[in-house]
Amino acid sequence: MRSRLLVVGAVLGLTVVTGVLIYQGNTEKATASSAASSTSGGVYAEDTADPTIPEVTAPGERPATNVPMTKLEPGDTPPQFIIFSFDGAGSHQRWNEFMSVADESNSRFTGFLSGIYLLGDEGKYAGAYTGPGHKTGAAAIGYGGPESEIVTEVNDLNTAYMKGHEIGTHYNGHFCDDAPPGGNQWTTADWNDELDQFYKFVKDWKTINGYTDAPDLIVPPETIKGGRTPCLTGKLDTLIPAWKAHGMTYDSSMPAPRNGLYWPQKVDGIWEFYMPQVYSPGFEGMTTAMDYNFWAKFNGARDEPDTAPELRSIVKGTYEFMFDQAYNGNRAPILIANHFNKWNGDSFNPPAMDFMKEKCGQPDVICATYQDVIAWMELQDPAVLQELLDRAPVAAKAPDS
Ligand SMILES: [Zn+2]
């Protein structure tokens, strides 16, 4: 398969064991040089053939937030927010599937775009991207493919934005510990360089690629205010100055320093939505609540499609446990953090989609974007908000322990 999704899957590898971020190698991984020299990103190779997914079209005007912007009185119970996000955000089929389901409950989610998905073969061979510390053109994931696929991606981003979904960044070259230097080695200057290029691709992708009759990307670059680093790499003290230099206000990359679900915390002016480490009833133990990490814990991230029903059930059960603990407890926003992928026989889309169908739009439950949740938090009386932020974690252990 030359699908970019599979390339992404092959190079993404991390798991958190007792708070330490560990990269797990994968023999299928594409090296930076092989990815850079492949003939096509081909992200849509496996996606365009399925006729069962209806095309989702954008309305004429971006709708207002789906979060009721009201202030809590002291003692009021906050809404239960669920924040779905998808790294890479380069699959036409996934965009359509999740936008269709979100429509049913006026829900919103966030796509973290890999910037080089906006660079077609022309942009790639023109040397438009140089990852910090790497050769020009090198990347650990594929580029965007031929012009038709770039246009499809742009249309998907436009549709999502016009439906009120949020676009964030998954940076560019996806350089992790398997393709150093990456997020764990980069300095603030390197992150600034990576982000400069990301925003340049969003602004200038048509010029860079030399496309003369492609549609405009209508997502204003200044509305991209947060993201997730590849493989959750990087350190706050190196990243925060780069985020601030680019007008960014939040991040959702850092492995949580405490177990369990708790409210995001403001670190040096940036809202950090920590990637939670939670108890999973199916695993009978702790896990980082993210698709790849579930997979790594389940079978070492080996492709075993026959086991998909079992893994889906474990993931769904973990989501339900997280929900019950937060909803009946501290009401911390629940993060459902996935990639657009079909790993291990499509183990991760069905539980995320079922969870979205079952919970979003239920009483007091709002599936929202990061920025809309931030706007709601910043609307609150500071003392009321602080009480929420200070609430103790839930879902940090088995319910009866
Ligand atoms: Zn990734």
119-159 pLDDT, tens digit per residue, is 998 889 889 999 999 999 999 999 999 999 999 999 999 99
Contact between 40 and 3 under an 8 Å Cβ cutoff? The reply is: no
- Number of structural domains found in the chain: 1
> What is the 340 CA–ligand 1 centroid distance (Å)?
9
Residue 153 lies inside a defined structural domain of this protein: yes
Residue 65 lies inside a defined structural domain of this protein: no
CB-neighbour burial class of residue 329 (10 A; exposed 0-12, middle 13-18, buried 19+): middle
Place of tokens 């971020």: 21
Q: Determine the pLDDT at residue 60.
A: 75
Residue 206 lies inside a defined structural domain of this protein: yes
CA angle 6, 256, 132 (to 5 degrees): 50
Q: Determine the pLDDT at residue 36.
A: 29
> What is the 13 CA–ligand 1 centroid distance (Å)?
9
Pick out the chain residues at pLDDT < 50.
Answer: 1-51
> What is the 80 CA–ligand 1 centroid distance (Å)?
27
Radius of gyration, CA atoms only, the chain: 20
> What is the 169 CA–ligand 1 centroid distance (Å)?
10
> What is the 170 CA–ligand 1 centroid distance (Å)?
7
- Residues 6 or more apart whose CB falls under 8 angstroms from that of 64 comprise 164
Q: Determine the pLDDT at residue 245.
A: 98
> What is the 87 CA–ligand 1 centroid distance (Å)?
5
Residue 39: enclosing H or E segment and its boundaries?
none
Contact between 17 and 56 under an 8 Å Cβ cutoff? The reply is: no
Q: What is the CATH number of the domain that holds 290?
A: 3.20.20.370
AA identity, residue 147 = E
Residue 55 lies inside a defined structural domain of this protein: no
> What is the 63 CA–ligand 1 centroid distance (Å)?
29
Residue 61 lies inside a defined structural domain of this protein: no
Q: How far is CA 160 from the centre of its chain?
A: 14
Tens digits of residue pLDDT in 253-303: 999 999 999 999 999 999 999 999 999 999 999 999 999 999 999 999 999
Residue 348 lies inside a defined structural domain of this protein: yes
> What is the 213 CA–ligand 1 centroid distance (Å)?
30
Helices vs strands, H then E, count in the chain: 13, 12
- Residues 6 or more apart whose CB falls under 8 angstroms from that of 262 comprise 256, 274, 276, 330, 332, 391, 392, 393, 394
> What is the 396 CA–ligand 1 centroid distance (Å)?
25
Residue 69 lies inside a defined structural domain of this protein: no
DSSP string computed for 235-261: -HHHHHHHHHHTT--EE--SBPSSSSB
User: In whole angstroms, what is the distance from residue 360 CA to residue 117 CA?
Assistant: 30
Residue 58 lies inside a defined structural domain of this protein: no
User: Domain span at residue 20?
Assistant: 4-47+79-389
